[in-house]
Amino acid sequence: MNDYIKDFPILNQKVNDERLVYLDNAATTQKPRAVVEAVTNYYYHDNANVHRGVHTLAERATEAFENVRTKVAHFINAPSKDEIVYTKGTTEGLNWVAAGYGRNHVKVGDEIVISYMEHHSNLVPWQQLAQQTGAKLKYIALQADGQLDMESVQQQITDKTAIVALTHVSNVLGVVNPIAKIAHITHQHNALMIVDGAQSTPHMKIDVQALGADFFAFSGHKLLAPTGIGILWGKSSLLAEMSPLEFGGEMIDWVQLQKTTFKAAPWKFEGGTQNIAGVVGLGAAIDYLEKIGMDNIQAHEQVLMQAILPELSKIKGLTIYGPQEAQERTGIIAFNLDNLHPHDVATALDMEGIATRAGHHCAQPLMAYLKVPATVRASFYLYNTLADGQRLVEGIKATKEFFKNGTI
């Protein structure tokens, strides 16, 4: 994977006089030249609104915009491009399902099942839906190593369950949840399986049909694409039953003085001018990832974890959250060092040129479950190397010594 580093100019810099080691990929990934150039070329040559014009630029922009829909469908093995809805990101997609589908179908006495490891984007919308409809919100418990407790899964999903909404990969614990197995249980109870794919789609091959998902959402900026673009996939029958939440241009079929009819999915959800450049960038990012191969990216991260986790486990006073075995997690490592505040640790690492993230990671219920206020999170991606991992190990050791002795 080292050959791909040259495609990311931002990584070729120093931070605090040290070579940058970027380990905040769970928050957002860097962009390769191919993506930046695709966006630039769009603005230089094809900038026009889509669907609305017959002039050459509008037709080129529309063709590019719709071609990416087909590309995304192939990328996640969706049955049809017409099931691919453009959003701002995972958060918007999950909110749309909760509000546009949930409000129409969830009622008093129903149950919504999520887990303690959910990102706020896959927790607050369901919390709000439960409050609005009188449904009951239930939580799947975790095992000691942070993985989902399958006995709790069986207990919490019942014939009263209307929706099960789970993250595919935890943005804190790095665990890969057995979505296909849980979807099977969910469907036995005639409930819907909704999947937050923000942390899985960039790192492994996704097949929404094999997963048994009914809805699946992910963000472009976590897989090399620009910010402000994401995807909501839903089964065509469910999208047909889902109400749009934004009204205006382009999503309409016919407007009369007292009545409006809407287009079919996916266009009925895409009111107003879309993030066309973001869509173009997303298409270029998918091309880039597929050229490398998602299986190769996943294997590369496994190599990194198998080398780094044992070294980190040797550091006294370092607590790693989630599974301790590399094969049971992705390239996300959340940790705390001694009794130091995570922000202090992250700041010290930044002085060493190592970019990590500290805080609750938009997962406050999980922090409460782990009985910690926050953690430091290092997250790896395809352009990270074993040398980056070693820099993290040495940086944590130096941080420990600094706070122990006052020198670094």
The CATH number of residue 349's host domain is 3.90.1150.10
pLDDT digits (tens, 9 = 90+) for 53-102: 899 999 999 999 999 999 999 999 999 999 999 999 999 999 999 999 99
- 407 within a domain of the structure (yes/no): no
Name the band, by pLDDT with cuts 50, 70 and 90, for residue 3.
confident
**Calpha distance 333→329 (Å, rounded):** 9
Residue 139 bears catalytic tag: no
Contact predicate 293/374, CB 8 Å: no
Coil/strand/helix, residue 394: helix
pLDDT of 328 reads 86
Domain match, 127 and 44 both: yes
pLDDT for res 173: 97
Q: 136 and 8 in one domain?
A: no
CA of residue 16 relative to chain centroid, distance? 30
Q: Does residue 266 have a cis bond before it (omega within 30 degrees)?
A: yes
How would residue 327 be classed by pLDDT, with cut points 50, 70 and 90?
Answer: confident
- Tokens 């789609």 map to which residue? 201
Same domain, 227 and 365: no
The per-residue pLDDT of the chain, averaged, comes to: 96
- One domain, residues 250 and 379: no
SS (H, E, C) 174-229: CEECCHHHHHHHHHHCCCEEEEECCCCCCCCCCCHHHHCCCEEEEECHHHCCCCCC
Domain enclosing residue 310, as ranges: 2-23+293-398
User: Which residue, of 244, 267, 291, is where some domain finishes?
Assistant: 291
Domain co-membership, 146 together with 253: yes
Residue 405 lies in a domain: no
Residues 271 and 285 in one domain: yes
Regarding whether 47 and 11 lie in a shared domain, the answer is: no
Which residues pair with residue 334 across a beta bridge? Answer: 321, 377
For residue 404, being part of any structural domain is answered with no
Say which CATH number the domain at 44 has: 3.40.640.10
- Report how many domains make up the chain: 2
Q: What is the CA radius of gyration of the chain?
A: 22
Q: Which amino acid is at 340?
A: L
- Give the CA count within 13 Å in the CB-facing half-sphere of 88: 10
In the predicted structure, residue 408 carries a pLDDT above the cut 50: no
The reply to whether 364 and 272 lie within a common domain is no
In a domain, 185, yes or no: yes
Per-residue pLDDT reduced to its tens digit, 246-258: 998 888 889 999 9
Is residue 122 in some structural domain?
yes
Residue 19 lies in a domain: yes
Q: Are β-strands 252-255 and 260-262 bridged in parallel, bridged antiparallel, or unpaired?
A: antiparallel
Residue 337 or residue 408, greater confidence: 337
Note whether 108 and 136 are same-domain residues.
yes
In a domain, 257, yes or no: yes
Q: 125, 181 in Cβ contact below 8 A?
A: no
Q: Active-site residue among 362, 372, 393, 398?
A: 362
111: left (phi over 0), alpha (psi -120 to 50) or beta: beta
Q: Are residues 286 and 309 in the same domain?
A: no
Residue 260 sits in the same domain as residue 308: no
Both structure tokens of 230: 């994401």
**Same-domain status, 287 and 300:** no
What digits encode the pLDDT tens for the residues 253-305? 899 999 999 989 999 999 999 999 999 999 999 999 999 999 999 999 999 99
Residue finishing a domain among 232, 257, 291 = 291
Mean pLDDT in residue range 227-249? 95
What's the CA angle centered on 257, arms 253 and 261, to 5 degrees? Answer: 20
Question: Does residue 406 sit within a domain?
Answer: no
Cα 261 from Cα 208, distance rounded (Å):
30
3-state secondary structure of 51: coil
Say yes or no to pLDDT of 183 above 70: yes
Edge-first strand listing for the sheet containing 215-219 = 84-87, 230-234, 215-219, 192-196, 161-167, 111-115, 136-140
pLDDT at 81: 98
- Assign 405 a pLDDT band (cuts: 50, 70, 90): confident
Of 291, 312, 333, the residue that ends a domain is 291
Percentage above 90 pLDDT, the chain: 93
